[in-house]
Chain A
């Protein structure tokens, strides 16, 4: 079983909810693995207060031209949808590595055996980090300067699936582009974390739309529920047949625990209850589904 935490807009508290929910679920006995697929800005390890461990490079294919064999036919450049191959006037191909997404289309069309050799470059890393909370965190981290996050999302998700124990909980990037849908894919439940500000509401509609298009039942968590018009979130949720399952007030305690890298659900602060309650609902949902 897999569930996803997403949010549309950045900074709505997606990672706070993901990490606290993971800790809370484990506390009530649910076995799980958490995957941080926000590969451009992964933060779950910071919120959990752990150092990333077990680094593995994500090596991606890129073409290396053997100019002694290449006939300068330009086919590779024509087929490259990323425009990562440029050709000189005489047809000699050159690669712009950061644009290459490693799809191998160039290799497939090259008519001359051996003209395109297999080379690799590291576009980022994946990590498998044990946490003191009884679950493992898998993280994908894109290298700075790399343009395409999709291959890294795919690699990190694959590694998470290899090591997973029990439930796979996925924390996605901000936005609603195709890397977010890749992260969410195969989830049985999508939890959209939102805030009731006009900006938050605007972006919530996008993530609810994505959930609808993917046919995944969606829950809404309203973060900083007292800072805006939460009725509008409820209205929107109704429109998309999504249920609002929790409200989290703006709280200095949450800010403090966030800043200290200590999940709030393990403290005596009253806010801990909200996450425990949410965890119970998720556990019920999971139980009901099996």
Chain B
């Protein structure tokens, strides 16, 4: 089974809760964990990974380059780039591609009148790594290079590697911690999942973002569940619970705000391992039990 964990909004505790759930499920199930937040991968840190078994470069991104020698400075590429990624270098008056924003669509190369002046070059867009965590299960994690496009493809490649690993090691499940937002990384994380677990906190901003993530989940027709984190920080706010009820999304549990969570994070340990008696840990243990019964069977 493939489970994807998403939240829409960043910083609502998705990776910390995921790390704790992995810790609690490791004894009863076999799985591979995938950190699909390629722009800010944190699961490795939270699971105390210090060494990677294997690292693969991902050469997927393309960026345009202009050969200033043959460029006749007609400015056509500058006008036609759909994303405004070509600028005129002040000092020399040359046309230059901003490699940190280029989407690699090759429109500039197609419209340039001087053949061979603009080339689309493959560049490294990031790395994908594999580790064996000290808890025994493997972790696949990707890191997008700064300023690169196509993080969705990186996630797809991560999941392919994870699927292979499942076959090789005869693992039952894949648990994917997706990125914030609702774009290509999240779509690649949710696509192909059997179940989505959404995490939100009771604030209007988090509600708005998790509703958007849920629309993506609906697009894939996946059953969804909700975990409410920091459930007690905003007692007057009922919007999250009301929304879940209206949509018929089962709530797996509510985790109270607990200073043990940030403390465990600075110790680089799942909170359920670092402070098993804390309020938050007790709530997560209950949630893990529900997941075992309701989802993993």
Contacts and interface: CB of A to CB of B under 8 A. Distances in A.
B265 A197 contact: yes
A92 B62 CA distance: 27
A103 interface: yes
A187 interface: no
A154 B105 CA distance: 15
Interface in A154-200: 154, 173-182, 185, 197-199
B8 A41 contact: yes
B42 interface: yes
A105 B105 CA distance: 7
Secondary structure class of chain B's binding surface, majority of residues: loop
B130 interface: no
A109 interface: yes
Given A173-B181, A176-B144, A259-B203, A206 B266 contact: no
Interface in A5-50: 8-13, 15, 38, 40-41, 43, 46-47
A178 B219 CA distance: 26
Interface stretch (A144-152, A235-243, A276-284): A144-152
Nearest to B102: A178
Contacts of A217: none
Given A43-B9, A142-B183, A144-B216, A229 B98 contact: no
A108 interface: yes
Interface stretch (B50-58, B157-165, B204-212): B204-212
Contact of A103 (B8, B12, B105, B204): B105
A258 interface: yes
Among the interface residues B151, B152, B209, which one has the most CB atoms of the partner chain A within 10 A? B209
Among the interface residues B12, B62, B186, B234, which one has the most CB atoms of the partner chain A within 10 A? B234
A188 to B, nearest CB: 15
Contacts of A213: 100, 146-147
Interface in B1-36: 8-12, 15
Contacts of A178: 100-103, 147-149
B10 A197 contact: no
Contacts of A214: 100
A213 B147 CA distance: 9
Contact of A9 (B10, B203, B204): B10
B41 to A, nearest CB: 9
A114 interface: no
A197 B15 CA distance: 13
Interface residues on B, range: 35 or more
A102 B80 CA distance: 12
Interface string B84-112: 10000000000000101111111100110
B187 interface: yes
Contacts of A151: 82-83
A154 B84 contact: yes
A103 B82 contact: yes
Contact of B234 (A101, A177, A224, A259): A259
Contacts of B9: 10-11, 41, 43
B46 A199 contact: yes
Interface of A: 8-13, 15, 38, 40-41, 43, 46-47, 79, 81-82, 101-105, 108-109, 142, 144-151, 154, 173-182, 185, 197-199, 202-203, 206, 209-210, 213-214, 224, 227-229, 255, 258-259, 261
The 9 closest A-B pairs by CB, nearest first: A11-B11, A10-B10, A175-B39, A40-B181, A144-B215, A103-B105, A10-B180, A43-B205, A147-B184
29 contacts: A9-B11, A15-B205, A41-B9, A46-B204, A46-B205, A81-B103, A104-B82, A104-B107, A144-B212, A145-B215, A146-B183, A149-B183, A151-B82, A154-B83, A176-B40, A176-B144, A177-B151, A178-B102, A181-B146, A181-B147, A182-B101, A197-B262, A199-B265, A202-B42, A210-B147, A224-B262, A255-B234, A258-B203, A259-B204
Interface of B: 8-12, 15, 39-40, 42, 45-46, 62, 82-84, 98, 100-107, 110-111, 120, 144, 146-149, 151-152, 179-184, 186-187, 203-205, 208-209, 212, 215-216, 219, 233-234, 237, 262, 265-266, 268
Given A11-B12, A175-B40, 12 more contacts: A12-B11, A40-B181, A43-B208, A47-B205, A108-B111, A148-B183, A151-B82, A174-B180, A176-B144, A198-B266, A206-B146, A261-B204
